[in-house]
Copies of this chain bind each other. A is one copy, B any other.
Amino acid sequence: MRIVVLAGGIGGARFLRGLKRAVPDADITVIGNTGDDIHLFGLKVCPDLDTVMYTLGGGINEEQGWGRTDETFHLKEELAAYGVGPEWFGLGDRDFATHIVRTQMLGAGYPLSAVTEALCDRWQPGVRLIPMTDDRVETHVAVELEGERRAIHFQEYWVRLRASVPAEAVVPVGAEQAKPAPGVLEAIAAADVILFPPSNPVVSVGTILAVPGIREAIADAGVPVIGLSPIVGDAPVRGMADKVLAAVGVESTAPAVAEHYGSGLLDGWLVDTVDAGCVERVEAAGIRCRAVPLMMTDVDAAAQMAREALALAEEVRAA
């Protein structure tokens, strides 16, 4: 079975670990969000790609969900001692190696997709991980800070400000000119099923869909496209998805996110059992819907979610 998954960071990575457990023999291609990428200290940092790679490769800091296990922060301390920031982005000594290797390869002329493949040679994530694009796309968030309207990098909004001010707009700068990375459209066209894990629908999955050609390829693939709600009850399972949903005028509820994707794209949608009452509303929008437990408390729970998603895909296919 060939499965394509559009993944952001922590939620996507944890879902993928469950998916691998649920269908160990499946051929899984992950299209990773790169809109969160940021240049820090002259280095190219790809937080979402790395979170997927570290999580599936066994190097993740389980507790925080990002960064490396057994990590130290001496380099960052020293940069601060030099007065070189930002200090709000937590790069550890082990993590730095990934960014140094990546930056060196990019400098040598390799596209990000080739670099990602080389990094995965070490981590052996058990999936094919492709960045959505080799071109530069950078998610900016328009906010009002100290009375002034400013567009700031997504990481500054998310990590430094902890989404503490309203997001007025979310713009994937450069997306319109970006091309899908080699292999992205081919994987979509060859897929048996396409999954949207419980990743952020705006700044993760939404950014991937903003790369011209990707949304169309998914819609045209003729295979079940199944999503899992990142909203349970009236709050995001993790992170601050509600903040950026507000910016695109979408309420923070499981059915609203399904409607935001739309029946032109989405064939099936899983909501949590606490949201069972909204199944009808989603189905009224032309999207098949089931209520199942959606809390990824451990790998088994994530695997069960993956099984439910694949079961819903079979239902869609049989319909």
- Identify the A interface with B (CB < 8 A): 41-43, 71-72, 74-79, 81-84, 92-94, 96-98, 100-101, 103-104, 107, 119, 121-122
Copies in the assembly, this chain = 2
Q: Which of B100, B107, B119, B122 contacts A75 (CB 8 A)?
A: B100
Please judge, given known A-B contacts A42-B107, A72-B72, A72-B93, whether A98 and B78 are in contact too, CB under 8 Å.
Answer: yes
What's the Cα separation between A93 and B77 when bound, in Å? 10
Do residues A97 and B82 form an inter-chain contact, with CB atoms below 8 A?
Answer: yes
Using Cβ atoms and an 8 Å threshold, which residues of chain B touch A97? 74-79, 81-82, 84
How far is the CB of A71 from the nearest CB of chain B, in Å?
8
Do residues B74 and A122 form an inter-chain contact, with CB atoms below 8 A?
Answer: no
Do residues A101 and B75 form an inter-chain contact, with CB atoms below 8 A?
Answer: no
Using Cβ atoms and an 8 Å threshold, which residues of chain B touch A76? 97
How far is the CB of A94 from the nearest CB of chain B, in Å?
5
Please judge, given known A-B contacts A75-B93, A75-B97, whether A122 and B42 are in contact too, CB under 8 Å.
Answer: no
Please judge, given known A-B contacts A93-B93, A122-B82, whether A103 and B42 are in contact too, CB under 8 Å.
Answer: yes
Do residues B74 and A119 form an inter-chain contact, with CB atoms below 8 A?
Answer: no
What's the Cα separation between A100 and B76 when bound, in Å? 11
How far is the CB of A33 from the nearest CB of chain B, in Å?
23
Do residues B101 and A82 form an inter-chain contact, with CB atoms below 8 A?
Answer: yes
Do residues A79 and B100 form an inter-chain contact, with CB atoms below 8 A?
Answer: yes
What are 24 of the A-B contact pairs (CB < 8 Å)? A41-B100, A41-B101, A42-B100, A72-B74, A74-B74, A74-B92, A74-B94, A75-B75, A75-B94, A75-B100, A76-B97, A77-B97, A78-B94, A78-B97, A78-B98, A79-B100, A79-B101, A81-B97, A82-B97, A82-B98, A84-B97, A84-B104, A93-B96, A96-B96
What's the Cα separation between A79 and B84 when bound, in Å? 23
Do residues A84 and B72 form an inter-chain contact, with CB atoms below 8 A?
Answer: no
In the complex, what residue of chain B is closest to A39 when comparing beta carbons?
B104
How far is the CB of A78 from the nearest CB of chain B, in Å?
3
| Given A72-B72, A75-B93, 16 more pairs with CB closer than 8 A | A41-B101, A42-B104, A71-B74, A72-B93, A74-B92, A74-B93, A74-B94, A75-B94, A76-B97, A78-B96, A78-B98, A79-B101, A82-B98, A82-B119, A84-B100, A84-B104
